[in-house]
Amino acid sequence: MITALTFLIAQGILGALDTLIYHELRAHLPSTPAARRELRLHAARDFAYAIIFALLGWFEPHGTLAWALAAVLAMEIVITLYDFVEEDATRRLPAGERIMHTIMAIIYGAFLAHLVPQIVLWGRLPNALAATDYGPVSWIMTAFACGVFLSGVRDLAASMKLKPPGPGV
């Protein structure tokens, strides 16, 4: 499980860098009307990640809870794919951002490759939320859950302040 969590931490670090460098400093998404839908997608994905980080840092979801986690992971994939399409429709991504997204997709795949077999095992167990403690890794996951949740709140609030873009945008 530590290997899966290590990939998830790497994903969190790259996600934070992507947000700071490309979304905030370069594209100024929170103040760009054409980014309204993209910001909402980012908020939805951030809330999914907040659940994933918080849950996996301290618990093993067993039974139907394991399958609920699988549904959140699948939802994150759908949101990300929709986000890729939305980005291409509303702005030109710098090469570095495209590379970052590709690296993040590879890391997410490695994370899932290590986590999915565990989810299958957990899914066979009776329903429970079993406590676990990975030491410093659990605390890092907690910090990431808080950070990504706050990022989601910020993106959602920014999207609600922006007026929809005019026709043809």
Domain boundaries along the sequence of the chain: 2-161
Residue 164, pLDDT score: 76
Task: Give the residue-averaged pLDDT of 151-166.
Answer: 90
Residue 44, pLDDT score: 98
The answer to whether residue 166 scores a pLDDT higher than 70 is no
Give the CB-side neighbour count of residue 46, counting CA atoms within 13 A.
Answer: 22
The answer to whether residue 46 scores a pLDDT higher than 80 is yes
Task: Give the residue-averaged pLDDT of 33-62.
Answer: 97
What pLDDT, in 10s, does the model give residues 72-130? 999 999 999 999 999 999 999 999 999 999 999 999 999 999 999 999 999 999 999 99
Residue 169, pLDDT score: 54
pTM of this prediction? 0.93
pLDDT band at residue 163 using 50, 70 and 90 as cut-offs = confident
pLDDT band at residue 165 using 50, 70 and 90 as cut-offs = low
The answer to whether residue 62 scores a pLDDT higher than 70 is yes
Q: What is the 3-state secondary structure (H, E, C) of 31-100?
A: HCHHHHHHHHHHHHHHHHHHHHHHHHHHEEEECHHHHHHHHHHHHHHHHHHHHHHHHHHHCCCCHHHHHH
Residue 168, pLDDT score: 58
